[in-house]
Amino acid sequence: MSTRILFVDDEPLILQGLERSLRPLRKEWQAAYAGGGEEALALLENGPFDVIVTDMRMPGMDGATLLDHVMRRYPDIVRMVLSGQSDLESVIKSAGVTHQYLSKPCSIESLKDAVNRAVSLRHLLGNASLKQVVSRMRSIPSVPPLYVELTNCLKSKDGSLEKARAIIQQDMGMSAKVLQLANSGLFGATGRISSASEAVTYLGLDTIRTLLLTLHAFSEFQPGGAANFSMASLWRHSLTAGALAERIMQSLPAAGAEGTIDMRIIGLLHDTGRLVLAANLPESFEQILRLAAEKRILYWEAEREVFGTTHAEVGAYLFGLWGLPEAIVEAVAYHHTPAQCPRPGSPMLTALHVADVLVSEMDESEAAWHTPEPDLEYLAGLGAADRLPEWRELASRMATEEAPHG
C-alpha cells in the first residue's frame, strides 16, 4: 500500500520541482500538492493522508497554524516542516505541532528517508489509539526541581554549557526535547545525534536559553495528573537503570555503532511513555493501576488492555517521529519484550531489558511494572544467560553505592 503525502508551499516552482523529483517514487508514494494552508485543509477533508510536509512562512495561514489545525482534526497524520527558515522564531512557533523539521535544500534521499522512517513506525508500532495518544502530545513534563535549576542556570550570567549539560542529562523531558531539536533539519543536523550532552553542545547555550525561556519547551510536571503516579520513583528507577545498562553494555561483545550511544540517556528516556500517559491521561492511568491489581497482571499488560498499546510503544513512537536513531527506538519499544523485536540481539536492547528488570527487583514501587526475571529464553538464545548472576550482583552493588535520590 502506497504512502499518501501532502506537500504544502506557496512557491509554485518549489512544488513543481518536488513533483518532478518524486516521479521515480510514484509507485511508493501518492503525492498531492497545495499552494497554501486553506487549499491543504480542503484536500485533507476529501481524502486520507499519512504525512503532511509544509513550508513555514506562507501568506495567510503559515505552516505552524496549518499544522495546529491538522493536529486537532487529523491527529494520526505525521506532521513535518520543510523550510528554508532556520531562525529560532520559526522553530519556536512550530515546536509544539511538528514531529520533524527538514531544511531546504533537502535532497530527495533525505526526504524519502525521513518520511519512510516515520511511516514504517506506524506499521511497526502503530494502532489507532497509539497514534492518537502520541499525536496530541505537545511536550513531555520535566522534574520540577531540575526545571527550576536549569532556568536559574540559564538566567545567570555565570551560566555555562557544561552546567546546562549536567542538569539536562538528569531529566527525561529535557533530554528528549533537546534530542528532538538537535536531530531536526532546521538546526542543520547531518547525522544522528544520540546523547543529550552532544545535543546541548551542538545547539549551544543561546539556543537552549531561547527555547527554554521563550517556549517553556521543558514543561513542569503538574501535580494535577494521576494521583498514584510518583515522579520521584520513576526518576530514581530511570537513572539507576541507565547506569546499570551502561555497565552491562560494556560487558557485552563489541556493540558496533550502538556502543557510541550513551546508555545512561537511554535509561533515562526508556519510560518516557509512562510519564506521558500519566501526565496527559490521568484517569485512564488510574484505571490501569486498578485493573492490574484486580487481575493481578503487570501494569504494562493492563496498559495494553486499556489503551491497546503500552508506555514502551508510546515512548518509542514519539522518539521515532522525532528522528532519533533506530536502535534507540527499538530498545525503548521492546524493553519489556525483547524477543518480539524484529532485530533481536541488539546489545542496547539486551542491556536495557536486563537493567530495567534487575533494578526493579530492588525497588518495591517498581515491581508491578516488570516481570520477576529478565527473559531467560531470550538471553539463552544470545548465549548470555550465564551472565545474569554477575549482572544481578552488579545491580545490588549499584543500588547501595550509586542510588540517586529525587
Report field, pTM of the whole predicted structure over 0.85 = no
Q: Which of 63, 78, 71 is nearest to 9 (CA)?
A: 63
Instruction: Give dist(CA 308, CA 40) in Å, integer.
Output: 31
- Give residue 90's identity as a one-letter amino acid code: S
- Give residue 133's identity as a one-letter amino acid code: V
The better pLDDT of the pair 398, 147 is held by 398
Mean pLDDT of 182-211: 75
Q: Which three cell numbers stand for residue 366?
A: 517498581
Q: Among 290-304, 324-338, 349-363, name the one with the lowest average pLDDT.
A: 324-338
Contacts of residue 86, defined as CB under 8 A and 6 or more positions apart, other chains included, come to: 103, 186, 187, 188
Query: How much of the chain exceeds pLDDT 70, in percent?
Result: 80
Q: Each residue of 261-270: pLDDT tens digit?
A: 678 778 888 9
Element (H, E) at 131: helix 128-135
- Give residue 243's identity as a one-letter amino acid code: A
Mean pLDDT of 349-376: 88
CATH architecture of residue range(s) 231-401? Orthogonal Bundle (1.10)
Q: Taking the domain 3-125, which CATH number applies?
A: 3.40.50.2300
Query: How much of the chain exceeds pLDDT 90, in percent?
Result: 29
Q: Where are the beta strands (DSSP E) in 55-209?
A: 78-83, 100-103
Instruction: Give dist(CA 217, CA 209) in Å, integer.
Output: 10
Instruction: Give dist(CA 224, CA 146) in Å, integer.
Output: 19
For residue 214, pLDDT over 60 is answered with no
Q: Each residue of 308-347: pLDDT tens digit?
A: 889 998 888 888 777 777 788 889 999 999 998 877 778 8
For residue 216, pLDDT over 50 is answered with no
Domain ranges of the chain: 3-125, 144-215, 231-401
Q: Which pLDDT band, with edges at 50, 70 and 90, does 388 fall under?
A: very high
Give the model's pLDDT for residue 337: 92
Instruction: Give dist(CA 325, CA 46) in Å, integer.
Output: 35
Residue 66 burial (C-beta neighbours within 10 Å; 0-12, 13-18, 19+): buried
Q: Each residue of 57-68: pLDDT tens digit?
A: 899 999 989 998
For residue 213, pLDDT over 60 is answered with no
Q: Each residue of 176-187: pLDDT tens digit?
A: 878 877 887 666
Contacts of residue 36, defined as CB under 8 A and 6 or more positions apart, other chains included, come to: 8, 10, 58, 59, 60, 61
Q: Whole-number mean pLDDT of the chain?
A: 81
Alpha helices in 74-107 (DSSP H): 88-94
Contacts of residue 404, defined as CB under 8 A and 6 or more positions apart, other chains included, come to: 235, 236, 239, 240
Sign (positive/negative) of CA torsion 374, 361, 296, 303? negative
For residue 394, pLDDT over 60 is answered with yes
The better pLDDT of the pair 94, 126 is held by 94
Q: Which pLDDT band, with edges at 50, 70 and 90, does 33 fall under?
A: very high
Instruction: Give dist(CA 330, CA 313) in Å, integer.
Output: 9
Q: How far is CA 304 from CA 191, 287, 288, in A?
A: 34, 12, 9
Q: Which pLDDT band, with edges at 50, 70 and 90, does 35 fall under?
A: very high
